[in-house]
Amino acid sequence: MLALLVGCCIIIYAMVMIFLPKNYYAELESQVTSDFYSLVEILEKKGWGESSESLLEFSMKNNATVKINDESGGDVFSVNFANDEGSGQPAPSMSCSAFFRQGGRTFQLSAIVSLVAISQSSDILLKLLPFIAAMILLISVVGALICSRYYAKPLVNICSVAKRMATLDMTWKCNVKRKDEIGVLAFSLNEMSQRLSNALASLQTANEQLQQDIEKEREQEKQRIDFFTSVSHELKTPIAIIKGELEGMLYQVGEYRDRNAYLRHCLKTTSDMEKIVKEILLAARMGGSDFQLVRSDLNISQALQKSCRKVKGRIEDKQMKLRLDIQPDFHYAGDGRLLKKAFSNVIGNAAAYSPAGATIIVSLRDGVFTVENTGVHIAQEDLKRIFTPFYRVDKSRNRNSGGSGLGLYITKAILEHHGIPHKLENTESGVRFTAVFR
């Protein structure tokens, strides 16, 4: 920047030194010529005897030597105001000559104009060169500092921010507060940075959501595969039992000759299969995207009382105690058929998996429904998978100690469709299931 300013100033000064004398000479020549011919016209009108003042004025004004010669070449008038001092060399000059008539005679007017002023101006420019050079350098330095501070520094800042933006670093802003083009550029860059930052944030959010959807889809696919695998395994055993018993009765092998007894057993096994199939169909239907709840007003208190009466016989057989703490007439707008099944599953599980002599506490207060059974705990690893379809804490999957493993999975699906928070946890005395109706 400094070199550019110095160079420009030197070029301008050199052009002044070259063209100023030439232009000055052309202007002076034009002026002298005009004054000279005006003087000729005056001489023709008045004669040189009465035009002495005009001749003196022309000589003084133009720094010229003026002569009038007669026909024989003799001088009849001469005046010299030319100043050639101050020049070491002969000063340049220009000459003019013209004829005029006076009293029937012809006279010659000649003028030699000194151009010493042109030489003096060139000399002055040369003498001023060191001072001008110092001024040029000073002005260039000051101008370079001003340009650097006012123009270059903001542009460097803008360039730095632009480079950071190219690396997708949108945390930097241009701190240029101006109203000119540079300020507009900085504002536009900040605006673009903000928009790009928002776009990148949106893309990142969308990408994270997409990743979550992909993971969810994979998990659902895995659950479907596990579900069908578990269904096949769950139905394989009763089908094998029925097939074996039917073959034994068909060929009258050993104890299978008593067909009536084993037909009743086959019927019971078929009923168990029917129950499993119904649960599978319900679970599959609730997992569909087109599943809709049939909501109506449900008296939760009465539904819980009815579910407790259904398991009362099993509780008495195992010599367990049932304690009820149910507030009367608590109503909730939900799918009554599904919620009743969820209540039956939870209370039935508590009765099925509690040891003899345990206590089952069913409570409903201010919309908080809890079922706690004492005398048993669930391992932390099993608690994490307790709501998985076909999962049972009893790894032997003994039918005498539990069902198919779909009960809590269906219960979870029912409550989630209703938006009811729920959890299963260990307590000091046993296991507690909690669901909050709001």
Q: What pLDDT, on a 0 to 100 scale, did the predictor assign at position 420?
A: 93
Residue 401 reports pLDDT greater than 70:
no
Q: Which of 119, 104, 135, 22 is nearest to 63 (CA)?
A: 119
* CA 298/CA 327 separation, integer angstroms: 14
DSSP, collapsed to helix, strand or coil, labels residue 366 as: coil
**Residue 160 CA neighbour count, 13 Å, CB half:** 12
Q: Which of 226, 420, 273, 235 is nearest to 342 (CA)?
A: 420
Q: What pLDDT, on a 0 to 100 scale, did the predictor assign at position 19?
A: 66
* CA 296/CA 338 separation, integer angstroms: 11
Q: Which of 161, 193, 164 is nearest to 174 (CA)?
A: 161
Q: In Å, how far are 238, 314, 385, 394 from 398, measured between CA atoms?
A: 12, 17, 19, 7
* CA 185/CA 208 separation, integer angstroms: 34
Residue 421 reports pLDDT greater than 60:
yes
pLDDT in tens, 350-397: 888 888 889 999 999 999 999 999 989 888 888 888 887 777 666 555
* CA 117/CA 92 separation, integer angstroms: 9
pLDDT in tens, 190-217: 777 778 778 888 888 899 999 998 988 8
Residue 324 reports pLDDT greater than 90:
yes
Q: In Å, how far are 9, 140, 150, 437 from 145, measured between CA atoms?
A: 16, 8, 8, 75
46 alpha carbon, distance to own chain's centre: 93
Tell me what the pLDDT averaged over the chain comes to: 80
pLDDT in tens, 28-73: 778 888 888 888 888 888 877 777 788 888 888 877 888 888 888 7
Residue 325 reports pLDDT greater than 90:
yes
More confident residue, 211 or 163: 211
Residue 297 reports pLDDT greater than 50:
yes
| pTM of the model as a whole | 0.49
More confident residue, 409 or 149: 409
Give the pair of three-digit tokens for residue 137.
């350098």
**What is the identity of the amino acid at 256?**
Y
Domains of the chain: 2-127 (3.30.450), 293-436 (3.30.565.10)
- Cβ atoms of residues 137 and 130 within 8 Å: no
pLDDT in tens, 238-295: 788 888 878 888 877 777 777 777 788 888 888 877 877 887 777 777 777 778 888 9
What Rg value do the Cα atoms of the chain yield, rounded? 59
For range 303-325, the mean pLDDT: 91
Alpha helices in 299-335 (DSSP H): 300-310, 312-317
Q: What pLDDT, on a 0 to 100 scale, did the predictor assign at position 82?
A: 63
Angle at 371 between CA 368 and CA 377, to 5 degrees: 130
